[in-house]
Structures are given as C-alpha cells and as structure tokens.
C-alpha cells in the first residue's frame, strides 16, 4: 500500500522501532500485554511480518492465562512452526536487548496504535475511491463510505476497566462541578421529569405506542420545550413527515392553535398574531430538521456528528 502525493509515491506510515520496543517490553514484563495491548492492538496493527507473528504468539499465550515471557513465547512459536519464520530464538533475544526502557511501554503502544490507525485510514480512502469509480448508485456508495469511516472511528474507542474508587472520584468531581444546576434535558412534562430527572446524556429513550397514539406529537413537544425554553440544540429526523409538516406542528404547539384549523386556513386575526409570535420564537430556537424516507442509522450518526462538531448537540 502506497500513497500518491504531489511529491510522488509515499509509503504508508510505519514505526517498526516502536513495534520492536513494545514486543521486547512485553517479553520482559509479561503483565504489560494485558495492561496496554489486549483488546487494543492485534497482529494486523503491526507493519512487519516477524512482529505480527510474535504478537500473535504472545496473544495466544495470554489467552490461556499463562505467563508471557521469553520461554513461553518461544515454546508457542515452536508449537506453531513459526520460530524459524522470525529468524529463530535470537530474534526474540534481540527484541529484549534493544528495548530502551520498559517504563515507556505505553508510549510505544500509543505510537504503534497511531500509525496503524493511519494505515487503516489510507486503506479506507483507497476503498472509497474504488467505490466512487465502480458504483453506479451514488447514494449506496456514500452509505458504504460512511460505514467504512465509521468502522475506523469506532476502532479508536477503548474503555479500560475502571476501579470503583476511581469511578467514585469522577462522580464526586462531576457533582461538585455541577452544583445546583440540573443535568439533562427537561421534557416539559412535570410528571416525566420527576421520574427521570430529565433526558440524560447518552440515554436512549424509546417512545412506544400503537399507531395514532401521538408518539410524534410527544417527541415534537419535547423538542419544542428543549429548544425554545432551555435553548438546547436539537436535531429531529423524520422518515414520515415532510419538513413543512414538522414546522406546522411546531408552530401549532407553540401558538396553542389546533393543527386542523391551521390546515383549513380559517384563522382569526388573533390566531394569525399568535402564529407570527410563535414563528418568531421558533426562528431563534436551535432546531435542525431532516426529512427523508431513506434515512438509516449511519446517515443519522453522520449528520449528528457533523452537527455536534459544528454547533454542539444536546438532543436527537
């Protein structure tokens, strides 16, 4: 895999020295694999075949809950007829001898992870170029490209196991920083807010009910209250209603005028005034509407992420 630039062909980013130092450190301190590599780095993330073979052997030893070290890894390589492929036991010895310091193992891992991510990104970019050249349906090509980029993005997310005392400290810091401020987005429905404390960050809330029971109206009521009253940035994705229908419902709610009367158009002067005032309020509200019957989860995620980056996003 190479990259074409204005200055010619450029090889993909590689840090074989960091890979070697990381492997040598893990051979010297077997606990490092579980601490900094398990679930984070795998053989495909390394740029040299010898390094990939060694990391694969380390991973297999660790999976069996055996201690990782020179002897166990050498034995594992022998058992899989891989020792000769890396140049024999001397290669393992060289890895350990050339480690600058085991104390910097996490830094070596970060370097390896970063360059592996860049190589994956280059691979995805090449695949996206292939999609653009071979697909006739542009929408399908875009959807597949989004999936590829999302997969690269997701691969960067690592959640380490956290001791309870650390989690408690973080919670205490959060409570202290919050003070008397209410957390989350209030729905505007007092009974719901009392039970839930509002819609909290990362919560997935499902509004369930039979057709015609008012699920969409409830969702729009929450959006209207969040954006107009609390000034929260909201995104509303609709696969059924058009943009104009969404706007009409929001205006109807804010103006407190029956939607059927607005559709018929027989409105009094007082009602026109209320609609004008409601429209002015809604113009200042940070609400973003997307209508499409072909929306999928990837589309919603991509648009939400862009909105989050540009404006900040409180509610979808």
Q: Residue ranges of the domains in the chain?
A: 3-154, 206-310
Query: What's the residue count for the chain?
Result: 316
Lowest mean pLDDT among 13-22, 41-50, 237-246: 237-246
For residue 304, what pLDDT is reported?
85
Q: Choose among 216, 144, 228, 128: nearest CA to 186.
A: 228
Kindly report the backbone phi and psi dihedral angles of residue 169, in degrees, each rounded to the nearest multiple of 5, phi listed first.
Answer: -65, -45
Q: Which residues pair with 3 in a beta bridge?
A: 10
Which one has a higher pLDDT value, 82 or 7? 82
Instruction: Please give, one letter per residue, the 3-state secondary structure of 55-83.
Output: HHHHHHHHHCCCCCCHHHHHHHHHHCCCC
Indicate the CATH number for domain 3-154.
Answer: 1.10.860.10
Distance, in Å, from the CA atom of 48 to the CA atom of 112, rounded to the nearest integer, reads 12
Whether residue 153 is predicted with pLDDT greater than 80 in this model: the reply is no
Q: Given this structure, which CATH class describes domain 206-310?
A: alpha beta
pLDDT digits (tens, 9 = 90+) for 278-298: 888 888 989 998 888 777 787
Q: What Å distances lie between residue 187 and 199, 210, 232, 238, 306, CA to CA?
A: 7, 21, 11, 19, 24
The answer, yes or no, to whether residue 78 has pLDDT greater than 90, is yes
- Helix (H) / strand (E) containing 297: helix 297-310
- The DSSP 8-state label assigned to residue 98 in this structure reads T
Angle between helices 49-63 and 16-28 (to 10 degrees): 30
Tell me: pLDDT of 35 over 80.
Answer: yes
Quick one: average pLDDT of 153-165? 68
Helix (H) or strand (E) holding 167: helix 164-178
Q: What is the pLDDT of residues 222-262, one digit of tens each?
A: 999 888 888 999 999 988 888 888 888 888 888 888 877 77
Q: What pLDDT is stored for residue 183 in this prediction?
A: 67
Give me the active site residues, please: 240
CB 2 within 8 A of CB 9: yes
Q: How far apart are CA 18 and CA 12, in angstroms?
A: 15
């Amino acid at each position: 895999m190479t990259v074409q630039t204005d200055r010619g062909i450029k090889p993909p980013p590689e840090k074989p020295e960091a890979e070697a130092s990381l492997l040598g450190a893990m051979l010297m301190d077997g606990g490092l694999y579980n601490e900094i590599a398990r679930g984070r780095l795998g053989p495909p993330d390394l740029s040299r075949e010898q390094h990939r073979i060694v990391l694969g052997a380390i991973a297999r030893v660790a999976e069996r809950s055996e201690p990782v070290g020179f002897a166990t890894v050498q034995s594992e390589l022998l058992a899989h007829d891989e020792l000769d492929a890396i140049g024999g036991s001397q290669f393992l010895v060289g890895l350990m001898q050339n480690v600058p310091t085991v104390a910097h193992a996490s830094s070596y891992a970060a370097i390896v992870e970063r360059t592996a991510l860049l190589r994956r990104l280059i691979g995805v970019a090449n695949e996206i170029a292939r999609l653009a050249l071979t697909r006739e349906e542009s929408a399908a090509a875009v959807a597949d490209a989004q999936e590829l980029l999302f997969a690269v993005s997701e691969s960067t997310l690592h959640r380490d196991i956290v001791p309870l005392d650390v989690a408690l400290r973080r919670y205490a810091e959060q409570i202290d920083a919050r003070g008397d401020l209410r957390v989350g987005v209030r729905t505007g429905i007092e009974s719901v807010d009392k039970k839930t404390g509002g819609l909290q960050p990362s919560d997935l809330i499902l509004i369930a009910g039979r057709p015609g029971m008012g699920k969409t109206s409830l969702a729009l009521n929450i959006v209207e209250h969040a954006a107009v009253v609390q000034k929260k940035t909201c995104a509303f994705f609709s696969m059924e209603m058009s943009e104009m229908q969404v706007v009409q419902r929001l205006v109807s709610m804010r103006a407190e005028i029956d939607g059927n009367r607005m559709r018929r158009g027989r409105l009094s002067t007082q009602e026109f005034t209320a609609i004008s005032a409601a429209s002015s309020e809604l113009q200042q509200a940070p609400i973003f509407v997307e209508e499409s019957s072909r929306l999928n989860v990837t589309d919603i995620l991509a648009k939400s992420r862009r909105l989050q980056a540009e404006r900040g996003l409180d509610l979808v």
